[in-house]
Structure 1
Amino acid sequence: MADTVDPLRVVAVPDSFKGSATAAEVAAGIEAGVRAACDNAGRPVEITVVPFADGGEGTLQALLSAWGEEARSVPTVDALGRPVSARFGISPDGRLGVIEAAESNGLPLIDDAEFEPMRAGTRGVAALVEAVLDRGVSEILLCIGGSATTDAGAGLLAGLGARLLDADGEELPDGGGALAQLDRIDLTGLDQRLHRISWRVACDVTNPLLGPRGAAAVFGPQKGADEDQVRQLDDALDRFARTLLDDPESVIDKPGMGAAGGMPLVLHGVLGAELLPGAELVADVLDLRPTLAAADLVVTGEGRLDEQSLNGKVIDTIRRLTPATTPVVVLAGEVALDAAQLADRGLIAFSIAPGPRTLSELRTETHDQLRRVAQSVTAVFLSGARRSPPTETTESPA
């Protein structure tokens, strides 16, 4: 009976290299290198390509690439109320709608204008929600990172039919600053479909809504707020929460409420959304655990591998979801962890930089360097792998 060799089962599951390559492009480079090494060694290979993300910017595209689906788009407004076209996604079975809030309220959309932290709002996200609801989904996955806003989702709520009123019964303008004048909220006009679906929110920070670790204090300065504006926004968010909720104390200090300018306040407090760690949520949506469990080798990657990578981000999540006996190799533009740190987490890491390069040079070489290093890594793995003996039994190995 002729000897047979089982295919090498490889999973390529990288994050994007921000500014250089999308997760799908990184995965394609890894796949090319793995296939080249296996061809050279005469080893059959089964490679599963899963572009990945941690629930922040880039998650929509990563999921669409993994599903082989195209993005849809809808006209809406950015954080300053200017017209913009924003994308959303629908899963292949039509059950799940995916929204990346930064498509409408993200910082990159307003980098051509002066930041207005008191006026920036989330109303534009409402058009994305309505577009997804119109497709008949039963669940929405909302990724909220990268926002330019600090309004705790007030604009989103207004865009979905609520009325935020001052003491004279006039509707408030958009923005966190206007919430200082809030007197009452009328929710009778809310789209009733909002309560007929389930919501999951990708959230990778644990900040509360208010106080020195809250949405305004920690993230407001990144959005243009000075010290006085931070204080005003913090007070305004407090007023909004206490006007909106029957039991605000149970929500205000909940971990994650301070994400994306406090947007989870509306998503969780009004719509009942579940807040979950972003990378684990994406892994769940893609049903990644059985794929990783079946692999002989897992290759992941990101632009810079550092201590943040080990705290709930893509690399950390992939390692935790992969069986301890399966090697996890990280390819990165820069590796800022030492051997002891890597060994402690069960990781093997390689920089794809071949030598001194400028960032612009590395960006043009990303695919080729990923292919080169992935090929070398796979060749080394194959050289150390034992050839499986032929077997007459169907019993699975323990």
Structure 2
Amino acid sequence: MKIVLAPDSYKGSLTAKDACDAMEQGIRRAIPDAEIVKVPMADGGEGTVRSLVDATDGSLHKVTVQGPLGSPVSAVYGILGDGITAVIEVAEASGLYLIDKENRNPLLTTTYGMGELIRHALDQGCRSFIIGLGGSATNDGGAGMAQALGVKLLNKAGKPIGLGGEALSEIDSIDDAQMDSRIRDSRFIVACDVDNPLCGPNGASAVFGPQKGATPEMVNRLDSCLNQFAEVIRRDIGTDIINLPGAGAAGGMGGGTVAFLNAELKPGVDIVIEAAQLEMHLKGTDLVISGEGQCDFQTERGKTPYGVAKAGQRNGVPCVLIAGSIGKGIECLYDSGVISVFSMVDKPMPLEQAMQDAAQLAADTAERVVRLFIGGRK
């Protein structure tokens, strides 16, 4: 019997790889000789680097780069097992978690460190990039990233503008002649699960700015700055990002990656499924098991278990989900390849205990799942 394990992480308790290992232990108690393939998964957000590195036998690289407010930070990115694909999370260099709440100010924060991570990966020979956009502290439209890669953002006097979202109020022209030439020889795929445009009431500043510390006055200022940036990009680079769906992700970073990296925006889980070669592993499989911390109606909106289930459905493989907890609306998943959803919590217990015992709970649940599955096939 062949079983593929493809869970997301269970935040605060298990990485995706830890979950795979725990589930394998439980399955082997029921089927010692099962063929088990472990494919740690993610949806393009937090944990994507670790999951893809684990799934492809890749490597992690730690680099000191400029943080969102200019101070040095230690950031980690991955190189996949093919040796040429880098996977980078914007939050590592430019994340909200890097700034104390009282110091958050998207007028000042920059994505410069993100550009430094890309440059470091280029130095390692990478020419294919997967970028996750979640968790940024920035609202600069990817301007800092572009500056780190050699793009000159100039004011009316022909002098470089500063860093941060507010500095874009000074931009008058863009000179990309000295951009790192290796960028044009590389492919960039960006995990983007929102369709927000760059500007306006549904844009980067209005929707995501407040959580990054923006006051209503700051939101208006930042929106105006991004609009000006987009107009100069359209004129000088020839790329129109102002109404591009997803351009507003990560403080306009979605649009910036399209403008400066010629990136393709795709749903995060689809990117991870492709990079981890999940569909190849599903060939000849009897059952695929996925899961996450909580399965509910939101799981259908591009979360890892939904993507795995759909991949299983395309390949005729039934999918079972193992969840830390089960919320409302899971019945929507039953038309997407999911045959059942199991909760890991097998008795009343405090959340802290459930998180502490997550590995054992995952193992026990996986054992129950496969015992029921094989019993139903007899």
Question: For the Cα contact (< 8 Å) 1:241–1:248, is it kept in 2?
Answer: no
Poorly superposed stretches of 4+, deviation over 6 Å: none
Partner of residue 17, structure 1:
10
**Deviations, residues 129-161 of structure 1 (Å, cap 9, x unaligned):** 111111112211111211111111000011111
Q: Any gaps of 5 or more consecutive residues in structure 1?
A: 1-7, 387-398
Query: For 1:270, what is the secondary structure of its paired residue?
Result: helix
CA distance in 2, matches of 1:249, 1:155: 18
Partner of residue 357, structure 2:
365
Task: Check if 1:145 corresponds to 2:134.
Answer: yes
CA distance in 1, matches of 2:101, 2:229: 30
Match of 2:347 among 355, 358, 367: 355
Partner of residue 257, structure 2:
267
Distance 1:112 1:227, change over 3 A: closer
CA distance in 2, matches of 1:237, 1:250: 13
Match of 1:378 among 367, 370, 374: 370
Partner of residue 196, structure 1:
185
Partner of residue 334, structure 1:
325
Q: How many angstroms does 1:50 deviate by?
A: 0.7
Q: How many angstroms does 1:35 deviate by?
A: 1.1
CA distance in 2, matches of 1:307, 1:249: 36
Partner of residue 71, structure 2:
82
Aligned length: 375
**Deviations, residues 81-122 of structure 1 (Å, cap 9, x unaligned):** 111111122222322122112110111122465211110110
Identical-pair percentage = 39
Partner of residue 283, structure 2:
293
Q: How many angstroms does 1:339 deviate by?
A: 6.3
Task: Check if 1:28 corresponds to 2:21.
Answer: yes
**Deviations, residues 217-262 of structure 1 (Å, cap 9, x unaligned):** 1111111111111111111000001112238784211111111111
Q: How many angstroms does 1:69 deviate by?
A: 2.6
Partner of residue 157, structure 2:
168
CA RMSD of aligned residues (A): 1.7
Q: Any gaps of 5 or more consecutive residues in structure 2?
A: none
Query: For 1:263, what is the secondary structure of its paired residue?
Result: helix
Partner of residue 212, structure 1:
201
Give the structure-1-normalised TM-score: 0.90
- Highest Rg: 1 or 2? 1
Question: For the Cα contact (< 8 Å) 1:143–1:203, is it kept in 2?
Answer: yes
Query: For 1:331, what is the secondary structure of its paired residue?
Result: strand
**Deviations, residues 332-369 of structure 1 (Å, cap 9, x unaligned):** 11111356434333421011112332222211110010
CA distance in 1, matches of 2:365, 2:327: 18
CA distance in 2, matches of 1:270, 1:130: 14
Q: 1:332 is matched by which residue type in structure 2? A: A
Match of 2:172 among 179, 183, 195: 183
Question: For the Cα contact (< 8 Å) 2:53–2:81, is it kept in 1?
Answer: no
CA distance in 2, matches of 1:79, 1:146: 12
Q: 1:329 is matched by which residue type in structure 2? A: V
CA distance in 2, matches of 1:170, 1:220: 28
Please give the residue correspondences for 1:20-169 in structure 2 after superposition, counting only pairs within 5 Å.
20-39=13-32, 44-111=33-100, 114-169=103-158
**Deviations, residues 182-210 of structure 1 (Å, cap 9, x unaligned):** 12222222111111111111111111111
Q: How many angstroms does 1:270 deviate by?
A: 2.4
Question: For the Cα contact (< 8 Å) 2:294–2:327, is it kept in 1?
Answer: yes
CA distance in 1, matches of 2:94, 2:285: 39
